[in-house]
A and B are shown apart, each in its own frame.
Chain A
Amino acid sequence: MTLTHPTTGHTATADHIYATGLRNQWHPVVPSHFVAPGGMRKVTALGEDWLLFRRGDSTLHMLADRCPHRGARLSLGKHLGDRVACWYHGVEVEGDGTVSSVPGLPGCNLEGKKLVTSLPVREIGGAILAYFGDEQHPEPCELTLPEPLTDPGTEAILCYAEWNVPWRFGMENLLDPMHGQFLHHESHTMFDGDTTAKFRIRETDRGYFFEKTDQRGVNFDWVELCRTGVDWVDLSIPYPPSAGPGGPFGIVGMICPVDAHRSGVFFWRYRNVEGWQRDTWRFLYRTLIEKRHWEVLEQDRVMLEAMPHDADQAENLYQHDLGVVRLRRLYRAAAEQQAAALASPEPAAATAPAGV
């Protein structure tokens, strides 16, 4: 993918990167089931349009949604099994972005050239992740997947939703555990705990914890930001006894920056359960619990969608907002660094993703 505008030659600014998502890392895109074998789906991510298409054997490809010939939408074209054909003039593009055929002019010099951006993709826990590099970092960075999504003793169930919310507001919401005590006070899991608290930041080698100093295991008392090639949060919320054995449920959260004003939110609810306990939790989840969790998520959506776009420009923060301030500083600095690297003719060595 390029961050240099194809016609104007302008390089992306830090503001643009901050608004549409950090580059040079993995992001979730959509749930895997959105693209069936033999199917195609147009998606927007990090402010650009993409085409996902899946072969009959389930191999997935992600291409810029732009025909290299005249710029028509490849997503309007035809799935040819292992490639797509643009509807406009029939130009055929393979999964790696190579033009395989120009039917109107066989032998045309477009043939055999890799002219369409193709992103590396991985699928985990029912979601599609893609690596969004800038022109200096086209090769994917290392990706360490969240343990709750890979541990065989942990059962994770994905919930995906699309919100008219800037991605960073969604992330800030997750680094603000105290909202649970108020916004979600009427929910079935977050009714308990003090309405006052003191928080601290605790560093880890992959991010940081933002946690209450005086209460744990009662409510939404801590959250860990993890930057492991993809940004995700981990948190834990106690279940009432009615949910059965297995203890609290955890959430792995990720957010797809769709564009400057929209996000796809990915929440895996997970629990350390196996055997009949796993089966019973899944049964209760499907039948009764999923709807209750959804109602909590809707409270977040309603609150965040109603926030002014410039909400973060005129605030009066207090001690509970340390986690948000830290997150914002981190992302802003990374956006500045990525924009500066793209604007400078220096080699890519100095442009590794910002530390935490």
Chain B
Amino acid sequence: MTPWPYLDVHQSRTHEPTPYEYKLAATLEEVFTKEGHELADVIRGLNARQVHAPNGTPWTEDTFRAEMHRLGA
């Protein structure tokens, strides 16, 4: 029998987010709220909060684009 009902909170995930991903997401929400929606705002906001790229370096537009593509593709 096919189980009923299907009620799955998370249907778009491929894995449980890591602590790094949770922190990055929460900080992005704060940056979008307080700094703005332009890419430059986001880079400045993340770096000012010292929420850095996985290798520990400050974000650049290129590294941020690449990381979002990896995490959001």
Contacts and interface: CB of A to CB of B under 8 A. Distances in A.
Main SS of the interface on chain A? helix
A290 to B, nearest CB: 6
Interface in A263-290: 275-276, 278-288, 290
B68 A279 contact: yes
Contacts of B37: 241, 244-245
A290 B26 contact: no
B62 to A, nearest CB: 10
A242 B68 contact: no
A160 interface: yes
B12 A294 contact: no
B72 A281 contact: yes
Contacts of B12: 157, 159, 282, 285-286, 290
Contacts of B39: 276
A164 interface: yes
A42 interface: yes
Contacts, number: 93
B43 to A, nearest CB: 11
Interface string A2-17: 0000000000000000
Contact of B28 (A161, A162, A280, A290): A280
A290 B10 contact: yes
A283 B68 contact: yes
A166 to B, nearest CB: 14
Interface string B28-63: 111011000111001000000000000000000000
Chain A contact-residue range equals: 35 or more
A223 B21 CA distance: 35
B9 A294 contact: yes
B28 A284 contact: yes
Given A160-B6, A283-B25, A287-B17, A244 B68 contact: no
A291 interface: yes
Contacts of A162: 4-7
Contact of A283 (B4, B11, B72): B72
B54 to A, nearest CB: 14
A113 B33 CA distance: 64
A27 B26 CA distance: 38
A291 B10 contact: yes
B68 A276 contact: yes
Contact of B69 (A241, A243, A244, A279): A279
B53 to A, nearest CB: 14
Nearest to A75: B2
Most buried by B among A280, A288, A290: A280
14 contacts: A42-B2, A161-B7, A162-B6, A242-B30, A244-B29, A276-B68, A278-B72, A279-B65, A283-B21, A285-B12, A288-B25, A288-B29, A290-B13, A291-B9
Given A242-B33, A276-B39, A279-B73, 6 more contacts: A242-B32, A275-B65, A276-B68, A280-B68, A280-B72, A290-B11
